[in-house]
Structure 1
């Protein structure tokens, strides 16, 4: 199966979809890792958007999984939201 690579990660009002590639042997398969923005309270903007925009696309499946896990684990820390430039209620 030949991989179809997306040119960018995709933001919507309720989600951030990271374009990833899963590699098994010599086969690369496109996968999407999704962060539910509503569930976490994150939104587009600030340092978070800059980090995503400057990240490789597509990224490895493992790195995408780790980033989503890290963001979910940090979602309820007001200091993290402040650092990422996500002030105020979302």
Structure 2
């Protein structure tokens, strides 16, 4: 779900400079990935407070906080989010 949402943001929202939609897609993908990371670790999640940080994805906060303006820059930001989230998944599934 996270990968599909980011792909949609990259293809549909970033080219239109839709900053809010890109930010939302990144935030949703980070939350979905955080749930996956914690599930893979066998950690029970009872609420979403601190979920992203608990999964080690705090870098997403900086990414969203510093979202640039412009289609090409937003596309790069989505690519950066994809890379960051994929790295977190690889880390938890490799070990």
Instruction: Sort the TM-score into its range (normalised by shorter chain).
Output: 0.3 to 0.5
Relative contact order (alpha carbons < 8 A, sep ≥ 6): 1 or 2 greater? 2
TM-score by length of 2: 0.36
Q: Which structure: larger Rg?
A: 1
TM-score by length of 1: 0.37
> Comparing both structures, which one devotes a greater share of its residues to strand?
1
